[in-house]
Structure 1
Amino acid sequence: MASMSQKITTFLMFEGGAEEALTFYTSLFEDAQVLDISRYGADGPGEAGTVQRATFSLAGQQFMCIDSHVEHGFGFTPAMSLFVECDSEAELDRLYSALADKGEELMPLGSYGFSVKFGWVNDRFGVSWQLNLSEQQR
């Protein structure tokens, strides 16, 4: 059985742009805030001012992110996505529009049988989002 103090947090690794991403994400949700942020100093190892580690919350869910100072041959993939249940069609449309801006639409907003209204996008940072109209709104 897991320890009561154990916690699992989604961790997003950027190669630059972490602060821009978390600022963008926290601007989209009402219940969102930056909880903690530390930046690399002049002594590195990352570029001075970039995110060494940050914690932020969106709709009560905590996330962590960093700017990796090491180049890596991988990025974000739609196989791992953030699934958002939207309380209203207006909220769904707003989030979809904002997240799709400068991103990539994987499934345009529509009715897909499993949902009256659903959309899937990779945002401008490469993070994948599934947006769904809540069952209660159908």
Structure 2
Amino acid sequence: MRAVTPFLMFQGQAAPALALYLTLPGARLLHRQDTPDGRVEMAELDLSGQRVRVTDSPIPHAFTFTPSTSLFLDCDTREEFDRVCDTLGAGGAYLMPPDDYGFSTRFAWLNDPHGVSWQVNLPHTP
């Protein structure tokens, strides 16, 4: 097996989701191919070393994202943690708002405005 890569399938919201994710610290676009009508056929971005693939489904589906599967981000500083939460949380919904829950310095769990679930962590420093 070569790699395991998270694959996010949107229903017409891949382009705005990509634009949002590319504002995160350490994010960069590796590849993007659009359909003739402007939807994202396939894109790949690097989020601090983790590749993530993104597409707009050509077939309508009755399902969407679920919080039971999430992307987990470890931040390096409080400023980075706050920036990531502010960026992803704007227009989204918190499942666990930013706070000290005891298992890390700060933690938040949220669904971004496109429905993708993120766990944002600021680990305890040794």
Gaps of 5+ in 1: 42-47
CA shift for structure 1 position 125: 0.4
Name the counterpart of 1:94. Answer: 83
The amino acid of 2:33's aligned partner reads S
| Pairing of 1:68-87 with structure 2 (within 5 A) | 68-87=57-76
Percent identity over the alignment is 43
- Structure exhibiting the larger radius of gyration computed from Cα positions: 1
Cα distance in 1 for partners of 2:69, 2:88 equals 16
Alignment check: 8 A CA contact 2:9 2:57 kept:
yes
Q: RMSD between aligned alpha carbons?
A: 1.2
Q: Are 2:105 and 2:123, in contact at CA under 8 Å, matched by a contact in 1? A: no
SS at match of 2:22: helix
Contact in 2 for aligned 1:33/1:58 (Cα 8 Å): yes
TM-score (norm 1): 0.86
1:64 aligns with 2:53: yes
How high is the TM-score relative to the length of structure 2? 0.94
Equivalent pairs, count: 126
CA contact (8 A) 1:88 1:134 kept: no
4+ aligned runs moved over 2 Å, structure 1: none
Matches within 5 A, 1:108-127: 108-127=97-116
What is the distance in 2 between the residues matched to 1:14 and 1:7? 22
